[in-house]
Structure 1
């Protein structure tokens, strides 16, 4: 007798903003296949990466635990094999224990590279290199070029994303007695911004919006933003001008449209199955991208452009189609979505998203976020999102911001001084949350720890050292 439980397919992009989906209000971007998921299921418009940077976000997905639980608050290339002792079995192993065949295709971003994440099949850049002889990281220039528009050096049918999709389509299409749990994890639109032809000329920069900017004091109160601008060669002072920013956005959108085409092939493979309607698909990203908003680039900030993410849940046999919800959800909740669908709910630090859709569970009232840049001790940022408010605490200098997202969705000006009671309530909530998590490094006697302000310098991103003399590269 075949297993009647649903297949579960997670489809993930890297560094995709929540506003980069056509069917959710962006008329300038072409995403017909992601739009299919919007039409097929439930779209959450208040979804967050609770630590908006690569490694912590991915550890949250695979453990169902927040960064203060995993201990990974920044991009630290530490051995993660201990995480299962700390948080419980990884999601793939948990699903395998529940009788699912499991596979990962694409980026996993965990150390060491041979870490056992619990998948029956894992096909990533190592297999691509072995089969094709190509290195993923050499398809575009990095270092000083990382935020400048480029073209993928490999033809669109031969690049890593095409190879990934071929493998994922095969795994989705296999006919087995047990249901599958799969994660297909694309790297675009993570920089370098290098779409393949013809996606590199798909968007006219003159038709795209310029970045959103508030006053400089608000935009750069988080000292990581100017430090990252320097690190990623987007300059500490003047920044990338608006004309160039629109060109970069055109290439960023091109990468998303290219991945969208790959996603279309995945959806076709699902729809070719007899149990297509009993296949739960989640589409999400690990974090967003400032893309020039607030005079910044990259991620790790708690501005909406950086921390709010796409979050689509589709399951035609069980969930409504074309519904939009403004519940507060997070990457932490994906663990519970998968295990609940498998018939054995385990939420860990998340909430029951499927239950909230069905009306059987309450959505979260408050959502917390945390980030710390490694090797920069004073640099800890905490965030609380509740109702119309977003509170941000920066340990370095003990600075605070409050945004009224109902009145100021673009976060053009912070309003902490005008709302001291709200600030006090959310500050206390963050301190209590950190205390309960045992994060003693950030709290003391029930209050948030503050540190004297220090300017931080992350240096420059250099993939290959520059020579002492130009002619040395010719030797």
Structure 2
């Protein structure tokens, strides 16, 4: 692959994997994202390495695990010392620009801040149940403004030198305040209720789960079926706006004759529960709808268009995959794996993925099982994903599954140690520094 091709990375916030593709939710109808998927290779089992937003974006942009960059949930940001893939491209002659929502990860790129203005009125996050029209004008609504600024950036970058552009949208993250024309895109009466939800879960699930249920009940009272339908409908209405923004970007790339010279990557930072297990949002647990992401790569020459990959993949795999595709060998170490073998012939590059929030919780997902543990509560949840894909039967506390629990804990420890080991491999710069130190003849330097 040519080293001088452009890179456009589009990231949404809180978009479920089942919003795109053949098995998409019945309310999901997004022609621009579906067209991009038909032109791309898509990963059906792609997982975030970190929850929630900030750890996930750090993992995507640095290629490192949240615990290595010191990110704890959404409360702590790492703003100094990161090496991002955009910075590494800049060192290889690229102009790197980020537009919109990045959650403070600007290392290696010039960041274009887009003002929120009156986009969300007086609402803040968490509220899934009161969709309303934005008081902001449509063209200056936050996400639409981001798309417009990204297109203006493409106008100024589209010459002979390569560029990398990160475009970060806020939607479909709550609050569900949006331009009025999107409010009725998905109607609550058309929304099916989630099937993986039962009142007995409160008794059998983890303390972290019960704490999230209690939190929502304290905020909104009992979550009724009407509220669930309204929350899901509002989410998919917001996502329609994102789809239109993707169309605006793709039209600009076509207008500037950039598609044949640009690698396009599309992903979300994490998913959304949508009333499954009786809760909304993300981060307190690690159910599939939270941690599995839409992820696709469109090659400039049309290779692998429409191909689906079933191999497990993690967001820390994106950076090494990017440089493998581009034929670049930056002088850094990554814990992740290149997904090029999975893209080329479906090869398996990993037997598990890990998920951490940097705030005391970590999980591991294999092809058959999932375990997560929260150190703040000294308990967790465990599932047999072959027998129980809806994650209804928590095996963690059951005596007859203690051997499996121990096996997965050991694998999770192994995974963390191996990732740290891969992250600490010598770079050429460090090898040369070691040679300089050896020249001093200090004792114990070998």
How does the TM-score come out when normalised to structure 1? 0.79
SS at match of 1:312: strand
Contact (CA 8 Å) 1:69, 1:437: kept in 2 or not? no
Contact (CA 8 Å) 2:49, 2:315: kept in 1 or not? yes
Which of 108, 118, 124 is the matching residue for 1:118?
108
Which of 116, 123, 133 is the matching residue for 1:141?
123
Kindly report the root-mean-square deviation, in angstroms, between the aligned alpha carbons of the 2 structures: 2.7
**Could you tell me which residue of structure 2 aligns to residue 403 of structure 1?**
383
Contact (CA 8 Å) 1:58, 1:286: kept in 2 or not? yes
What's the CA shift for 1:64?
0.4
What's the CA shift for 1:358?
1.7
**Could you tell me which residue of structure 1 aligns to residue 313 of structure 2?**
329
**Could you tell me which residue of structure 2 aligns to residue 95 of structure 1?**
89
Which of 159, 162, 172 is the matching residue for 2:141?
159
SS at match of 2:178: coil
Shift in CA distance, 38/31, structure 1 to aligned 2, threshold 3 Å: same
**Could you tell me which residue of structure 2 aligns to residue 249 of structure 1?**
232
CA distance in 2, matches of 1:123, 1:68: 28
Contact (CA 8 Å) 1:365, 1:386: kept in 2 or not? yes
Which of 277, 284, 300 is the matching residue for 1:294?
277
Q: Which residues of 2 match residues 384-395 of structure 1 at below 5 A? A: 384-395=364-375
**Could you tell me which residue of structure 2 aligns to residue 56 of structure 1?**
55
Shift in CA distance, 256/219, structure 1 to aligned 2, threshold 3 Å: farther
SS at match of 2:271: coil
Contact (CA 8 Å) 1:285, 1:310: kept in 2 or not? yes
Q: Which residues of 2 match residues 57-96 of structure 1 at below 5 A? A: 57-78=56-77, 80-84=78-82, 89-96=83-90
CA distance in 1, matches of 2:203, 2:99: 37
How does the TM-score come out when normalised to structure 2? 0.84
Unmatched segments (≥5 aa) in structure 2: 422-446
Which stretch shows the higher mean deviation, 419-428 or 202-211?
419-428
Post-superposition Cα deviations, 1:417-461, rounded to whole Å, max 9, x if no partner, equal 45444322211111233456679xxxxxxxxxxxxxxxxxxxxxx
**Could you tell me which residue of structure 1 aligns to residue 424 of structure 2?**
none
What's the CA shift for 1:224?
3.2
**Could you tell me which residue of structure 2 aligns to residue 473 of structure 1?**
none
Post-superposition Cα deviations, 1:330-349, rounded to whole Å, max 9, x if no partner, equal 22122223323332145612
Contact (CA 8 Å) 1:369, 1:384: kept in 2 or not? yes
**Could you tell me which residue of structure 2 aligns to residue 461 of structure 1?**
none
What's the CA shift for 1:27?
3.3
What's the CA shift for 1:412?
1.7
Which of 414, 421, 434 is the matching residue for 2:394?
414
Q: Which residues of 2 match residues 226-245 of structure 1 at below 5 A? A: 226-231=210-215, 233-235=216-218, 239-245=222-228
Contact (CA 8 Å) 1:105, 1:185: kept in 2 or not? yes
Shift in CA distance, 32/74, structure 1 to aligned 2, threshold 3 Å: same
Contact (CA 8 Å) 2:40, 2:296: kept in 1 or not? yes
Unmatched segments (≥5 aa) in structure 1: 374-379, 440-475
1:262 and 2:256 aligned: no
CA distance in 2, matches of 1:401, 1:145: 26
Q: Which residues of 2 match residues 383-462 of structure 1 at below 5 A? A: 383-416=363-396, 417=398, 418-435=400-417
Q: Which residues of 2 match residues 207-218 of structure 1 at below 5 A? A: 207-211=190-194, 212-214=196-198, 216-217=200-201
CA distance in 2, matches of 1:195, 1:22: 25
Contact (CA 8 Å) 1:226, 1:236: kept in 2 or not? no
1:282 and 2:262 aligned: no
What's the CA shift for 1:388?
1.8
CA distance in 2, matches of 1:314, 1:401: 36
CA distance in 2, matches of 1:235, 1:198: 32
Post-superposition Cα deviations, 1:6-36, rounded to whole Å, max 9, x if no partner, equal 2111100011111122554333212111101
**Could you tell me which residue of structure 2 aligns to residue 341 of structure 1?**
325
Shift in CA distance, 145/296, structure 1 to aligned 2, threshold 3 Å: closer
Shift in CA distance, 82/103, structure 1 to aligned 2, threshold 3 Å: closer
What's the CA shift for 1:271?
2.5
The aligned length equals 413
Contact (CA 8 Å) 1:23, 1:38: kept in 2 or not? no
Contact (CA 8 Å) 1:22, 1:30: kept in 2 or not? no
